Structure 1
Amino acid sequence: MIHRKNSTWTSSSLSLSRCEDRRNSVISALEKAAVFLEDQYKEINIDAAVGYCLMQAYLSATLDKWASEPGLDSERKRVALLDEKVLPLIEKAKQALNQKDPAYSGAFFPSLSPGFWKVPHQWTQTVPSFPFSPTNGSCLDLKTSDSCISFLLGTRGKRGKSCLVPDGCRSIMTKAHCSGYSLSHQLFYFLFAEMKGCSDPLFHNAQYYKSAFCHLMMQSNLNIKKRALFHDFGDLFTENILFCGMAGFSDFYKPQWLDLILNWQKQDKGCFWMYESSMTTKESQRVKRSEKILPGECSAHNTAVAVGAIGGFLYYGF
């Protein structure tokens, strides 16, 4: 009987130790990513800026969550310092973007404001039997995605009115059987609408669409992992985790998936690189959001989705 108690205690201690190690690894990764932002805030693109905003939202929510949890004083202090560091850097990046490309970047500026991104407080999981199946169809280009999102944000259209849903956006954002980046941007559109509190009838069925999209995105991730396609689709794999995590699907927060993302970080720079080798300009165009390759093989898009996803892992817990 004593032996059983000791075994249980040892197993529990090891589990707690693993959680602590993983938590500190995540915080360390985010600290390195903050150093990269500090060095490159003048050069990052709008994607990276949004990614860091998502990261910051998770840092703030993590601090609130940990406020009543004992034994996390050291980690809480590190996250608080990180949060304080990232906020002004995001504002500097926003100002730099405004100087370089005010027309394009300005369309997304509302999403760079503190408090815009609200993390989930309730969780669900994908449904394996959902009546949708993945395909190889690309149905949404970058220009259309940006346009539809800007209508929601009020940076396009009549007199700055937000939450507008043109018929073309209503149709394409609910099209079934899209895949890849098209699929993740359909979900991203619904997340923007949720953050803005849009009340258009389209969003009355938002949970249905989020469930459908994340079902397909889970199938995509499982296929990427099974076929070891990370060198080609590591950014999509991570983007799916980021967006579906933000949508409240906890089964995307798999510890082994976190380990993959952490291994893509360049330890000396803090950025992320998920590609097999150096990307040419032509290769970079396959990314369905804007990409920018920074010195030292640092990818703006890879870094954007990675810091947001890792922030979600920290908030959800281990």
Structure 2
Amino acid sequence: MDMAPATVRYLSWNSARLIALVLNALSGLEKYYKHHHTELDVDGVFGLRIIQGQLNHLYMDFKEQNLDSEVIDEIRNLSRHANEIANKAIPFVASRDPFYYKQFRYLLTHPYDITHKAQRIDERLRWLEKEILGKRFDGTEMMWFSEKESDRCFAEVLSKDYDVNNVNSTCAISESCLKRMLATRGLSGYRLTHQVLFAAVTQIAPCANVVSEYLHSTSNTTMDNFLKEYCTNVIDEMLAFQKNAHILSRMNTYQKDLLMEQVFACGQFGFVEICSLHVLVAVLSWQHPRLGCFRKGDLDDSPINVALSSPKAAFLADNFTSRKLFNDLIHNDYCSTHSATVASGALVVFLRFLLDPGPWPEFFLADQPVTLQNILSEDQFRQYRYARWVKDSFPVQLPLSRPPELGWSPDLLAYLVLIAFVCIASLVAQFGCKRRVKQVYHFAYKN
């Protein structure tokens, strides 16, 4: 989906600093990716393709806008650098994990480029709680939509080499996957975000027509309406902690990854409700200030470790992730490629909204009443002169304001004439209309 032309919005001090923080965080991620490019897995390369595609789109949208050249050049350089690292890493991924590489080949060899004009969710599309619980507590439903089945559906879209010159390279998605990923309401957590991400990758691969025809024939709806409904429910899950810094600070690794994936999944389609400065600051604070990666915590961070006894309660933990815990770690530093990937997606989404926040002021990130605490990784990977971004953000053709020229306005003259008339009248009344007083003499006549 193409993004509408970006609206010009000149940078404030807060927005300039936030943009510098996000660009610094992306630089840190690329630093780590470059240092470990021989050890990256499928998740790591996908994260690089997200940075490459999304930032290249930002560069094309904003290169003619009135932004400081340092911002534009850095966005372009980060995109190019991500492409270079991904190309170097692909041979190692293909040899070390050929099965997953074959499944997600298209995603790993093409830039991930999806943007959409700013839009709002529709509260009327929120699913009722009983609909969600009915699905969540159904063990059959859980097995029918397992992680393995989800990966298989993604592979149906991404494992092919689409070629316009090859008639056999057309998109073909099974009926079961279309139903599972596009017509199953009431899911939550990773299952719900994977439904949105599945819709997204069908737009990258040449499968948009297949999906649109299926949605029209089965639900009489469009892709835009599907995204609005499902992202309404994704964002509904985020609202519980979106504005609560205390909850954000106590999240475990599983919850952090899910939150960043939710931001990326629906933020790429322009839903402004994901814009929370609390969440952005939290994501920035989760980055390691020296390594540049996003680390997993202790084993106790796993949601499976919660003391749950019943199958219904165990299902509440939503043990469904895109990678099993700790099998995406690089070296021995506890850095997670999956965490880095979803962080990359969340950061580029926040960068988009900082540059083009849309028409709803209540969702402007830079204007939200949140105290921006010290970020440990600030200026650790790149230092930007963002004070200059604010100064140079004013249009050159904007005339300098001048005070109005002083002059005798008719109102002032009338006021002065009135004052003079009142003064003259007072003097005349005092001296011209004085009462006559009988003279009293201080001596007496004798008779």
TM-score w.r.t. the length of structure 2 is: 0.62
Taking the aligned partners of 1:277 and 1:102, their CA distance within structure 2 comes to 29
The 5 A counterparts of 1:301-316 are: 301-316=338-353
What amino acid is aligned across from residue 273 of structure 2 in structure 1?
D
More helix by share: 1
The 5 A counterparts of 1:22-171 are: 22-115=18-111, 117-133=112-128, 135=132, 137=136, 138=142, 140-155=145-160, 161-171=169-179
| 1:17 matched to 2:17 | no
Taking the aligned partners of 2:172 and 2:128, their CA distance within structure 1 comes to 30
Superposed CA offset, 1:245-272 (max 9, x none): 1223232132222111111101111111
Taking the aligned partners of 1:45 and 1:286, their CA distance within structure 2 comes to 22
What amino acid is aligned across from residue 115 of structure 2 in structure 1?
P
Partner of 1:6: none
Q: Indicate if the aligned counterparts of 1:123 and 1:250 stay in contact, CA closer than 8 A.
A: yes
From 215, 230, 238, the equivalent of 2:232 is 215
- Kindly state the Cα deviation for residue 36 of structure 1 after the two structures are TM-superposed: 0.6
- Kindly state the Cα deviation for residue 219 of structure 1 after the two structures are TM-superposed: 1.2
Tell me: CA distance 1:132–1:63, structure 2 relative to 1, closer, same or farther (3 Å). same
Q: What is the aligned residue count? A: 302
Taking the aligned partners of 2:118 and 2:190, their CA distance within structure 1 comes to 24
| 1:187 matched to 2:196 | yes
- Kindly state the Cα deviation for residue 303 of structure 1 after the two structures are TM-superposed: 0.7
Matched position secondary structure for 1:77? helix
- Kindly state the Cα deviation for residue 149 of structure 1 after the two structures are TM-superposed: 1.6
Computed over aligned residues only, the root mean square deviation of the Cα atoms, in angstroms, reads 2.8
Q: Indicate if the aligned counterparts of 1:120 and 1:248 stay in contact, CA closer than 8 A.
A: yes
What amino acid is aligned across from residue 40 of structure 2 in structure 1?
I
- Kindly state the Cα deviation for residue 153 of structure 1 after the two structures are TM-superposed: 2.8
Superposed CA offset, 1:21-41 (max 9, x none): 001011000001000100122
Taking the aligned partners of 2:300 and 2:225, their CA distance within structure 1 comes to 37
Q: Indicate if the aligned counterparts of 1:51 and 1:308 stay in contact, CA closer than 8 A.
A: yes
Taking the aligned partners of 1:151 and 1:185, their CA distance within structure 2 comes to 14
Taking the aligned partners of 2:51 and 2:58, their CA distance within structure 1 comes to 10
Identity value in percent: 19
Partner of 1:240: 262
Tell me: CA distance 1:67–1:132, structure 2 relative to 1, closer, same or farther (3 Å). same
The 5 A counterparts of 1:240-259 are: 240-259=262-281
Q: Indicate if the aligned counterparts of 1:133 and 1:216 stay in contact, CA closer than 8 A.
A: no
Taking the aligned partners of 1:287 and 1:131, their CA distance within structure 2 comes to 22
Taking the aligned partners of 2:251 and 2:241, their CA distance within structure 1 comes to 6
What amino acid is aligned across from residue 63 of structure 1 in structure 2?
Y
Which protein shows a greater Rg?
2
| 1:277 matched to 2:301 | no
Tell me: CA distance 1:279–1:55, structure 2 relative to 1, closer, same or farther (3 Å). farther
- Kindly state the Cα deviation for residue 278 of structure 1 after the two structures are TM-superposed: 4.4
Superposed CA offset, 1:65-97 (max 9, x none): 221122421122222222222111111222211
Q: Indicate if the aligned counterparts of 2:158 and 2:205 stay in contact, CA closer than 8 A.
A: yes
Taking the aligned partners of 2:187 and 2:230, their CA distance within structure 1 comes to 9
Q: Which runs of 5+ in 2 are unaligned?
A: 1-8, 137-141, 162-166, 217-221, 306-317, 356-447
Tell me: CA distance 1:253–1:280, structure 2 relative to 1, closer, same or farther (3 Å). closer
Q: Indicate if the aligned counterparts of 2:41 and 2:97 stay in contact, CA closer than 8 A.
A: no
- Kindly state the Cα deviation for residue 293 of structure 1 after the two structures are TM-superposed: 1.9
Q: Indicate if the aligned counterparts of 1:190 and 1:203 stay in contact, CA closer than 8 A.
A: no
Taking the aligned partners of 2:272 and 2:174, their CA distance within structure 1 comes to 32
Taking the aligned partners of 2:343 and 2:80, their CA distance within structure 1 comes to 20
Taking the aligned partners of 1:28 and 1:286, their CA distance within structure 2 comes to 33
Tell me: CA distance 1:271–1:160, structure 2 relative to 1, closer, same or farther (3 Å). farther
Taking the aligned partners of 1:282 and 1:255, their CA distance within structure 2 comes to 26
